[in-house]
Amino acid sequence: MMAQMSWSIWRLWPVALIAVGIALFVVFDGYRFLSLDELQRRHLQLTDFVTAHYVPAVLLFMAVYVLVVAVSLPGSAVLTLAGGFMFGALAATCYIVVAATTGAVILFLAARSALGEPLRARAGPWLAKLSAGFQRNAWSYMLILRLVPLFPFFVVNLVPAFLGVSLRCFAITTFFGIMPATFIYALIGTGLGDVVAGGGNFQAALSPGLLVGLLGLAALSALPIAFKRRKQSHD
């Protein structure tokens, strides 16, 4: 009996983390910081802080990213851009992939706990659309959903928990599947940092890295169309 109670309490930790994260976000008015305008205003503060306190800056950035993903807040794109100009594209990609995967796993586990029913209601409209793909091959379908932005990120975090996808499959495909898009956004972030530093002069900031990032974003945006056409041709 005690063992079962301990296991039930242990399964509630994702719920507790999400509740604490929401409380902290509300208390510190987190939405104010998840905007490009706020990043522009605090550009020098952020870069100076990273220069003076690199490791604490990385840990704080990753903690905020975990919170945003776990609570499904609409700020991960802005954070990814910020990570690009704060740490550089490659380093930011490494930090973000770890943090985003951690946040996604927390939400995935929360969906299998006491928060299951309200989260299922939120994901309800998407369950029927995605169930067939997971039934055919959960590993390949999860990887496709991470590589190709066919559905919102929070949907792909929730739906697998209700369709019997294993935690191992979910975590591994998330970790590797989000790498390309994360790198593209972080690469754009490095260029946006130059734009902000140059007082908003976009022409002066059109570096090869920014151009590659923009081209990569364009290709990423076209992937869902190509995927749907390919799927229709095979139906």
| Euclidean distance between CA atoms 92 and 95, whole angstroms | 5
The torsion of the CA quartet 156, 143, 177, 16, rounded to 10 degrees, works out to 40
What pLDDT is stored for residue 205 in this prediction?
Answer: 45
Measure Cα distances from 75 to 119, 132, 154, 172, 226 in Å: 19, 30, 12, 23, 27
| Euclidean distance between CA atoms 99 and 96, whole angstroms | 5
**Residue that the structure tokens 């990120």 belong to:** 153
Looking at residue 53, the DSSP 8-state letter turns out to be: -
Amino acid symbol at 218: A
H-only helix segments in 43-178:
43-52, 54-70, 76-87, 89-111, 116-136, 138-147, 153-162, 167-177
- Which pTM does this prediction carry? 0.76
Neighbours of 208 (CB within 10 A): 8
Looking at residue 147, the DSSP 8-state letter turns out to be: H
* Tens-digit pLDDT string for the chain (235 aa): 444 444 344 455 555 556 665 666 555 555 566 666 777 777 788 889 999 999 999 998 999 899 889 888 777 888 898 899 899 999 999 999 999 999 999 889 888 775 566 666 666 666 777 777 777 888 888 888 888 777 778 888 888 888 888 999 999 999 998 998 898 888 888 877 666 655 554 444 445 555 555 555 555 555 554 555 555 555 5
Half-sphere exposure of 109 (CA within 13 A, CB side): 20
Half-sphere exposure of 9 (CA within 13 A, CB side): 6
